[in-house]
Each structure stands twice: as C-alpha cells, then as structure tokens.
C-alpha cells in the first residue's frame, strides 16, 4: 500500500501544481492584466484546465484510488491517509463525469466573461454582459446534467462549494432564518438611526491602505507568505499553503469598504495559511467548504472588527490618520456607525442584520435561472423586483444591482448560499471558542489576537479539507449548522445599540 500511496501523492502534487498555475493566471487577470488580453488569457487558462482535467481523471489515478480505497479499510478511518483517499475519491468520481471539452470551453467562456463583466459594471450596463451571462448559465445547466439523477438541478452546483449539502437543506435553514431576521430589522427600523454621515467624507486611499495593513499584520497575516493588491472585487487566492494573497477595493468616499474588506480577506488567508503544512499539494490542502471558509472571514471582519472592544483600541489610531474627518467623533460613536442597520444596495458593504437577505435574493435567482423559470434577459428586472421586496429599495443602476458581484461571470452559481451559511458558522464557532477563552473581548481590546488565532488554528484551520463541513461543525461545536446562535448574537448586539 505504501508504494501506491506515494504514487498517489506524486500525482496529487502534479494536479495541485497545475491548479496553482491556473490560479496565478486568474490572479494576474484580475489584478494586472490589460483588458484587451482577455481572449488570449482565456485560451491559456483553457489549455491549463484541459491538462488539469486529464490528469484529474486519468485511468492511472482511477485505478490507484480504487486500490487505495480498498486498502484504506485497514487504516484508522480518521487518519490523514484514509481521509486523503476518501476526499480524492470523491473528487475523482465527480471529475470523471465532466468531459474534457466542456472544461476547456467553460474556461474560455468564463475568462472572457469576467473581463466583460468588469466593463459592464464600470459602464453600469447589464446589456453588455447579458449574452455572456447566457453562455455561463447554459454551461452551468449542462454541467448539472452530467450528474443526473439529482434531487434538484441546483444540487451539483451547491455541492462544488459545500460538499454534501443539498438545496433543500439550505432552503430549510434559510426558511428558519428569514422570519427572525425580518422581525429584527423591522424592530430596528422603528428606532432612531445612529449618526454615520462621517463615514461618507473623503478618505484618501493611502491612509486607508496603511490602516488596513497595520490591522491585519496584528491579526497575524504573514507578509512573507502573502501580499495585498487592488481589484474590482476583493478576493483571496492561494498558490499553495505558503503563498496566499488578498486583494481589496477602495472607496475614497466610504471608509468601511476597504477597511472591512481587508479584514474579511485576511480572515480567508489566515485559514489557508493555518492548514497543516503536511497537507500541501494534496487533496486536503483546502478549506472544509466555502461556508467554513466564509466563517473565518466574517469572524475577523464582524465578530472582531466590528466589536466595541476592537474600536476602543483602534479608533485613536484611525483618528490620527484622518484627524479632520474624525476629530469630532469618539470611539463609541464610531462603533455604532460601523454597525448601523439600514438596507443598502451593495452586499459587501451591507450590515450584519440585512446581509443574509442579499444572499437569499441571489439564491432564489440562481435557482430560477437553473430551473429555467427565469430567463437571463429578464435578470435585471427580476433583481430589481426582488430587491424591492426584500430590502425595500430599487437599485439606481445596474452597477448597484444585478452587476455588483463577480461570481456569475466566473460561473460561480452555487457559491452565494455559502456566504450566509458562513455567518451562521462563524457565531457557532465563536460561542464554542469563548468557553475556552472567556476573556477574548479583553484581549481584542488590547489588540492581542494570538490566543484567538491559535485556538482557530488548533480547532479549525489545521484540518483543512480533512472533514466535511457538517462533520467539522459537530467536531468543533457539537452541532450541525443552525441559525439560532447567529440570531442570539444579532439580537443581543443590536438590541443594545438600538435599545430594543
């Protein structure tokens, strides 16, 4: 078995290297590449993806995994080797159902679509992007067909980001969450709004950058194994467990955009940099799922970055960077301002109480697009109608509406639900963590994050993709994903801010 295991690890490393090469090309496209190079880049990525798919579905790998799966019955089921074989077999069984020509065509289409989306968003014109979105949706339906029979056409897409989870399960969780969040939002709407106009003054980009870099360095982001750049939509990408990079987006007339975006992406990076280095270039060198990944980014952004303790320490520093903008503001005013609950157009800038409604809207649209009950040509109108129903607002233009997110351009249908699930997971893990670190708020107030990061590394990060998400949640918290802890958190926090 040892000889087969070493051969499997060698093939896995080759596959990982190819995946990292593709990720470098994608990173460069979103950070550095000139717009006119999209077609060439699409061909380059298509070639890499086709080779990657061939490697990932080779007969040699298939035979090895069959043999190793049989041999693994003699191993401890919880050992790294047994888990690695299990994860790899699952990935292989999915990959072999997808033809190589589909993989290369999907790479070509989505690479060009991302560049077109950037142009369409800049010009706030959905019609520029519409034909490309049609191609993406057609390809996603075709992809789902490879996995028939399924319970729902959306299941194969969701499973790519949240292994083992079904559409019906997400809908059940959201069904419980929605009325609780709506009730809270309505209660807050009856109260006087906190003062937050000072967040919309002019804040030079250099000061925002310097503050963000200082904060995430203290969080524990390792600049020897990462870097930060600008992009149209913030993201984190890794080229192995020793190179995890983040990007951010600046808005010189709205301070929270880059500030919390930087903390958010840092949370993703801290997760990947904390995975057991022995897993590098193996199937375990990844997060358990996108919901677990998102829990880490939302934890650092919200549970840490939007906490009163955090601003007790950091507000004086921010005030020295922007004295004219914040000279008449105190830490308590700032804390309440960055936690103001008010329906808004942009998901990434929305408050904790309304954020999940943005996700539920997108989930409904994605399901409708996949089922065919919503035509792509009607997506703008459907978005605006749903936005009005969910958040009481009508987007002023496409950039603030249907074009605001990059995900559909790269074929990421199935991704959005994991954002809301990540919110729930973050608080479940936080509740468990505070039993071990009861003075975590005091530590945050002193800008001491070592204990928090060490706990996350030990209980969450180190395992990488060793456990499926629900399995990991039971291991860490004793429960599967559930909305109750998150609602307790929201009701306590905003009950205090708005005197509910």
50 is catalytic: no
For the sheet containing 228-230, what is the strand order?
A: 228-230, 244-248, 236-238
Q: Are 296 and 456 in contact (CB under 8 A)?
A: yes
Residue 480: pLDDT over 90: yes
395-433 tens-digit pLDDT = 999 999 999 999 999 999 999 999 999 999 999 999 999
pLDDT at residue 254 in the model: 96
pLDDT at residue 286 in the model: 96
Residue 348: pLDDT over 90: no
> What is the residue whose two structure tokens read 């077609």?
39
Residue 233: pLDDT over 90: no
What confidence category does residue 232 fall into, taking pLDDT thresholds of 50, 70 and 90?
A: confident
SS3 445: helix
The CA angle 496-297-458, to the nearest 5 degrees, is: 105
pLDDT at residue 1 in the model: 83
pLDDT at residue 69 in the model: 95
Give Cα 425 distance to the centre of its chain.
13
What confidence category does residue 470 fall into, taking pLDDT thresholds of 50, 70 and 90?
A: very high
Q: Are 51 and 18 in contact (CB under 8 A)?
A: yes
Q: What is the pTM of this model?
A: 0.93
Q: Which residue among the candidates 265, 272, 352, 468 is catalytic per the annotation?
A: 265
81-135 tens-digit pLDDT = 999 999 999 999 999 999 999 999 999 999 999 999 999 999 999 999 999 999 9
The encoded tokens of residue 281 equal 């270039």
Which one, of 215, 239, 212, lies nearest residue 225 by Cα? 239
Neighbours of 478 (CB within 10 A): 9
Give Cα 151 distance to the centre of its chain.
25
Q: Which residues of 182-192 are buried (b: 16+ CB within 10 A; e: fewer)?
A: eebbebbeeee
Instruction: Measure the CA–CA gap between 278 and 421, rounded to whole angstroms.
Output: 28
pLDDT at residue 338 in the model: 98
Instruction: Measure the CA–CA gap between 255 and 318, rounded to whole angstroms.
Output: 11
Q: Is the dihedral of CA 305, 308, 310, 311 positive or negative?
A: positive
443-457 tens-digit pLDDT = 999 999 999 999 999
Q: Where in the chain is the domain with CATH 1.10.1370.30?
A: 167-497
369-389 tens-digit pLDDT = 999 999 999 999 999 999 999
17-32 tens-digit pLDDT = 999 999 999 999 999 9
Instruction: Measure the CA–CA gap between 478 and 467, rounded to whole angstroms.
Output: 14
255-271 tens-digit pLDDT = 999 999 999 999 999 99
Q: Give the DSSP letter string of 151-179.
A: SSTTHHHHHHHSTT--HHHHHHHHHHHHH
SS3 237: strand
Domain 167-497 maps to which CATH number in 1.10.1040.10, 1.10.3720.10, 3.40.109.10, 1.10.1370.30? Answer: 1.10.1370.30
Instruction: Measure the CA–CA gap between 12 and 56, rounded to whole angstroms.
Output: 8
166-192 tens-digit pLDDT = 999 999 999 999 999 999 999 999 999
The CA angle 251-493-450, to the nearest 5 degrees, is: 70
Residues 6 or more apart from 218 whose CB is under 8 A from it?
A: 447, 449
pLDDT at residue 484 in the model: 94
End-to-end CA distance of the chain: 63
């Amino acid at each position: 078995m040892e000889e087969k295991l070493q051969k499997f690890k060698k093939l896995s490393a080759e596959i990982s290297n190819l995946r990292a090469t593709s990720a470098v090309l994608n990173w460069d496209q979103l950070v550095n590449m000139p717009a006119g190079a999209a077609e060439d880049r699409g061909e380059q990525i298509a070639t890499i993806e086709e080779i990657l798919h061939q490697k990932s579905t080779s007969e040699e790998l298939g035979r090895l995994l069959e043999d190793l799966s049989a041999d693994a019955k003699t191993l401890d089921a919880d050992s790294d080797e047994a888990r690695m074989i299990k994860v790899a077999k699952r990935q292989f069984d999915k990959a072999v159902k997808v033809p190589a020509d589909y993989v290369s065509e999907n790479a070509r289409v989505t690479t060009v679509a991302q560049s077109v989306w950037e142009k369409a968003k800049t010009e706030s014109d959905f019609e520029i992007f519409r034909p490309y979105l049609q191609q993406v949706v057609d390809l996603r339906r075709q992809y789902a067909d490879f996995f028939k029979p399924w319970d729902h056409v959306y299941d194969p897409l969701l499973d790519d980001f949240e292994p083992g989870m079904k559409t019906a399960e997400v809908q059940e969780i959201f069904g419980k969450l929605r009325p609780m969040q709506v009730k809270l939002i309505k209660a807050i709407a009856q109260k006087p709004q906190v003062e937050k106009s000072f967040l919309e003054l002019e804040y030079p980009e250099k000061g925002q950058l310097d503050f963000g870099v200082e904060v995430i360095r203290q969080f524990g982001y390792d600049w020897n194994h990462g870097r930060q750049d600008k992009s149209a939509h913030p993201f984190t990408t890794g080229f192995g467990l020793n190179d995890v990079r983040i990007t951010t987006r600046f808005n010189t007339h709205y301070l929270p955009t880059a500030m919390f975006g930087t903390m958010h992406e840092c949370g993703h990076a801290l997760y990947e940099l904390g995975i057991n280095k022995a897993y590098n270039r193996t199937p375990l060198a990844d997060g358990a799922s996108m919901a677990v990944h998102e829990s880490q980014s939302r934890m650092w952004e919200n549970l840490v970055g939007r906490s009163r303790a955090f601003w007790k320490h950091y507000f004086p520093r921010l005030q020295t960077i922007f004295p004219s903008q914040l000279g008449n503001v105190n830490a308590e005013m700032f804390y309440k301002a960055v936690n103001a609950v008010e329906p808004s157009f942009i998901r990434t800038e929305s408050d904790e109480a309304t954020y999940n409604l943005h996700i539920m809207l997108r989930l409904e649209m994605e399901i409708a697009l996949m089922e065919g009950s919503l035509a792509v040509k009607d997506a703008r109108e459907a978005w605006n109608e749903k936005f009005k129903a969910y958040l009481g607002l009508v987007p002023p233009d496409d950039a603030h509406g249907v074009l605001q997110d990059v995900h559909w351009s790269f074929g990421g249908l199935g991704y959005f639900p994991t954002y809301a699930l990540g919110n729930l997971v973050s608080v479940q893990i936080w509740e468990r963590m505070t039993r071990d670190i009861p003075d975590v708020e005091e530590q945050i107030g002193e800008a001491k994050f070592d204990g928090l990061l060490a706990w996350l590394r030990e209980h969450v990060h180190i395992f990488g993709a060793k456990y499926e998400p629900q399995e990991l949640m039971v291991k860490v918290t004793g429960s599967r994903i559930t909305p109750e802890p998150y609602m307790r958190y929201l009701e306590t926090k905003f009950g205090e801010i708005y005197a509910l």
